C-alpha cells in the first residue's frame, strides 16, 4: 500500500522531516510518497499546499498524512481545511511544554535551524573544515587537534562519518585509510602511533565492501571478494593487536555509527 505524506513548514522543514521519518520508519510494510513544502509562510502558499494535498487525496482515494511545524495561526487554520490527517507537531508539544516550564514560547520561525549562537555555528564550520582538510590521510600533521581519528580500509564509511560528526556534534574527526603495506605487516602506520588514544576503527563485511567498491571500480582486484576479505581480516587484526575499539558499519546508518563512536570513545559533543 502506498500513502502520500507531506512535510510542511514555514521554515526549512527539517524538524517536520526528522520527526516524520522517525515515525514512518516504524511502518515497514507501507510505501510512502513523500513531499516536502518548506517556507510555507503566507496564505497564498498555504492555499497552494491545500490544493496539492487535496489533489493527492483524490488520486490516492485516501487522505494524505501531513506533518507540519507551522507557527502562524492563520496559516495553520488554512492548512487544517485540507482533506488530510494532520499531525501538528508544534501545537501538540509547545502548549504542554509552556505549562510545564511556566514560560511562553517565542514562536520564532526556523529558530532550531538558524544561526542563533555565533560561537556554536563557528564550531560547526571549523569542524567541517577540519574533516575535509584531514580526509583520507591527506594530512597527518594536524592530528594533535583531532577529537577522534577513524581508521579502516578504503570505502568502509570513514569520510561520511567524519562529516556527520562535524556537522551534528561539532567533533573534529580525521580519518586514515589502512593500505596494503599496513595490512601486510599488521603494524600501525607511523603517523598514527603518537595518537593511539584517539584511534577508532570502522570494519565492514567483505561482501558489502565488494558491492560498494564494484560501483566505483567494477571487475578490479580492488573490488574482488578475495581482496576485500583479506583487507577486512587484516584491519581487524590491527584493531585487536593495538587495542583499537571498532564497530562494524555494514548494517548501521551514519547516524548510528557516529553515535556509537562518540559513546565508545567518550568524546565530548561540542554541539547539542
* pLDDT digits 0-9 by tens, 185-207: 999 999 999 999 999 999 999 99
What is residue 30's predicted lDDT score, i.e. its pLDDT? 93
Is residue 115 predicted with pLDDT exceeding 70?
no
Mean pLDDT of the chain: 92
pLDDT in tens, 55-76: 999 999 999 999 999 988 899 9
Average pLDDT over residues 132-156: 95
Long-range contacts of 163-166 (CB under 8 A, 24+ apart): 163/128, 163/131, 163/132, 164/254, 164/255, 164/258, 165/127, 165/131, 165/258, 165/261, 165/262, 166/124, 166/127, 166/128, 166/130, 166/131
Of 99-108, 120-129, 200-209, 233-242, the poorest mean pLDDT is in: 99-108
Is residue 53 predicted with pLDDT exceeding 80?
yes
- Alpha-carbon distance of 258 to 219, in angstroms, equals 31
pLDDT in tens, 209-256: 999 999 999 999 999 999 999 999 999 999 999 999 999 999 999 999
What is residue 14's predicted lDDT score, i.e. its pLDDT? 87
Burial of 199 per CB tally in 10 Å (0-12, 13-18, 19+): buried
What is residue 107's predicted lDDT score, i.e. its pLDDT? 59
Amino acid at each position: 500500500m502506498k500513502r502520500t505524506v507531506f512535510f510542511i513548514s514555514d521554515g526549512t522543514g527539517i524538524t517536520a522531516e526528522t520527526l516524520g521519518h522517525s515515525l514512518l520508519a516504524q511502518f515497514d510494510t507501507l510505501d510512502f510518497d513523500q513531499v516536502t513544502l518548506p517556507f510555507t509562510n503566507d496564505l497564498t502558499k498555504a492555499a497552494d499546499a491545500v490544493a496539492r494535498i487535496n489533489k493527492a487525496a483524490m488520486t490516492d482515494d485516501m487522505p494524505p498524512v501531513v506533518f507540519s511545524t507551522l507557527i502562524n495561526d492563520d496559516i495553520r487554520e488554512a492548512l487544517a481545511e485540507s482533506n488530510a490527517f494532520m499531525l501538528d507537531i508544534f501545537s501538540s508539544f509547545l502548549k504542554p511544554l509552556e505549562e510545564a516550564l511556566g514560560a511562553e514560547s517565542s514562536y520564532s520561525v526556523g529558530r532550531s535551524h538558524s544561526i542563533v549562537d555565533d560561537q556554536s555555528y563557528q564550531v560547526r564550520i571549523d569542524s567541517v573544515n577540519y574533516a575535509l582538510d584531514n580526509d583520507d590521510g591527506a594530512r597527518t600533521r594536524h592530528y594533535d587537534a583531532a577529537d577522534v581519528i577513524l581508521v579502516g580500509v578504503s570505502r568502509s564509511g570513514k569520510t561520511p562519518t567524519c562529516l556527520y560528526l562535524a556537522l551534528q556534534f561539532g567533533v573534529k574527526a580525521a580519518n586514515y585509510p589502512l593500505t596494503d603495506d599496513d595490512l601486510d605487516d599488521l603494524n600501525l602506520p607511523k603517523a598514527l602511533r603518537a595518537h593511539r588514544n584517539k584511534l577508532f576503527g570502522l570494519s565492514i563485511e567483505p561482501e558489502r565492501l565488494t558491492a560498494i567498491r564494484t560501483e566505483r571500480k567494477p571487475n578490479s582486484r580492488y573490488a574482488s571478494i578475495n581482496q576485500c576479505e583479506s583487507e577486512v581480516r587484516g584491519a581487524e587484526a590491527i584493531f585487536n593487536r593495538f587495542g583499537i575499539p571498532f564497530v562494524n558499519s555494514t548494517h548501521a546508518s551514519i547516524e548510528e555509527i557516529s553515535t556509537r563512536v562518540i559513546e565508545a570513545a567518550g568524546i565530548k559533543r561540542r554541539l547539542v
